[in-house]
Amino acid sequence: MNMEWILIIAALIIIWLAVKAALKMVVIGFNTAFQILMILVILRIFFTIMPEEVWQQIRELPQLLWPS
């Protein structure tokens, strides 16, 4: 087998692994976004808590946990 063929096969395997990893990250990102959306929808429907209130609480969380 020619050295060039080995190099081409190795490059194809590396590209395949990189694309596979990138697709996994995209799927994980979409799953996380969907879960956040579901939490916000549940809070709004059942507790009438708006997303802005949740965001405000997230921004104030460090001050609540570590008061200066």
pLDDT for residue 68:
76
pLDDT for residue 18:
98
Chunk the chain into consecutive blocks of 10 residues (it has 68) and report each block's average pLDDT, rounded to whole numbers: 92 98 98 98 97 96 88
Sign of the torsion formed by the C-alpha atoms of 59, 62, 65 and 68: negative
Domain boundaries, the chain: 3-65
Sign of the torsion formed by the C-alpha atoms of 16, 20, 22 and 23: positive
Q: Which residues contact 44 (CB under 8 A, 6 or more apart)?
A: 50, 51
Q: Whole-prediction pTM value?
A: 0.72
Question: At which residue do the structure tokens 């590396």 appear?
Answer: 14
Phi, psi of 2 (to 5 degrees): -70, 145
